[in-house]
Amino acid sequence: AQSVTQLGSHVSVSEGALVLLRCNYSSSVPPYLFWYVQYPNQGLQLLLKYTTGATLVKGINGFEAEFKKSETSFHLTKPSAHMSDAAEYFCAVSGSGGYQKVTFGTGTKLQVIP
Amino acid sequence: NAGVTQTPKFQVLKTGQSMTLQCAQDMNHNSMYWYRQDPGMGLRLIYYSASEGTTDKGEVPNGYNVSRLNKREFSLRLESAAPSQTSVYFCASSDITGTNTGELFFGEGSRLTVL
């Protein structure tokens, strides 16, 4: 069984401020972890992923996330928010090895204030 | 490269009507999925097909049927639409080969309203 909890359905930051979106997961097997971004009226696209190896992963548009096994967390950060970062962000988990279903969190809408 | 293509993009139905959402992918992926997205609930898996010839229920399969027509195509059918099925539907595909470690590739969505 696996699940994802995203803390905060809405987050507001000022342009240029740090972005921190929180994600905690549970998984009975070593997880693969993902962050997806959804812009209005579009499908989801992959922002970054953790599979194995380095626990700090870098993605597109300056985002990064750190896998912390002891805290079962995979928080998403960006040092300086840009207006174009306004979107909904989804954390997701799947099991590793072979075919595994993907479970999504409920999403966090990021608002960037000029 | 088209990726994942869904049709139609918008549809309005009356309660009790039936319809089929079509999905096709051109990435030679083995696995395909149908999700629904509702405000505050994230994405919930309706049905998935791990490989051609197989389909399985996800979290919320009631009121839906699917067909994996071939490796490229995966359709979702509503036999008797209900207002509770008003949602945005996403088709996705994935594979576990090379650098594709299970990440999902999504279509642009189909917005369905049931009156």
Tell me the per-residue pLDDT of B37-88, one tens digit each, with 9 for 90 and over: 998 888 999 999 988 889 999 989 999 999 998 999 999 999 999 999 999 9
Q: Distance between CA A52 and CA B67 in Å, rounded?
A: 34
Chain B residue numbers with beta carbons less than 8 Å from the beta carbon of A41 are: 109
Strand ranges in chain A using DSSP code E only, listed in sequence order: 2-7, 10-14, 19-27, 31-38, 44-50, 56-58, 64-68, 73-78, 87-95, 102-104, 108-113
Which conformational region is residue A70 in: left (phi greater than 0), alpha (psi within -120 to 50 degrees), or beta? alpha
* pLDDT for residue B95: 82
- Contacts for A19 with CB less than 8 Å, ≥ 6 apart: A11, A13, A63, A76, A77, A78, A81, A85, A110
Paired with A45 in beta bridges are A37
| Residue among A92, A99, A105 minimizing CB distance to B50 | A99
pLDDT at A72: 94
* φ and ψ at residue B58, rounded to 5 degrees: -100, -145
CB A25 within 8 A of CB A4: yes
Q: Which of B4, B42, B103 sits opposite A107 (nearest CB)?
A: B42
- Please report the pLDDT score of residue A14 as a whole number: 97
Average pLDDT, stretch B12-20? 97
How close does chain B come to A4, measured CA to CA in Å? 11
- Residues from chain A that touch B41, judged by Cβ atoms under 8 A, are 106
Q: How many angstroms separate the CA atoms of B110 and B47, rounded?
A: 16
Q: What's the CA dihedral at B104, A77, A64, A4 to 10 degrees?
A: -40
Mean pLDDT, range B16-34, rounded to an integer: 95
Instruction: Flag if B103 and A34 touch (Cβ within 8 Å).
Output: yes
Cβ atoms of residues B110 and B8 within 8 Å: yes
- Taking only residues 18 to 77 of chain B, the set having a beta carbon closer than 8 angstroms to any beta carbon of chain A reads 30-31, 33, 35, 40-45, 48, 50-51, 58
- Tokens 């960006």 correspond to A78
* Predicted local confidence at residue A28, as pLDDT: 80
User: Low-confidence residues of chain A, pLDDT below 50?
Assistant: none
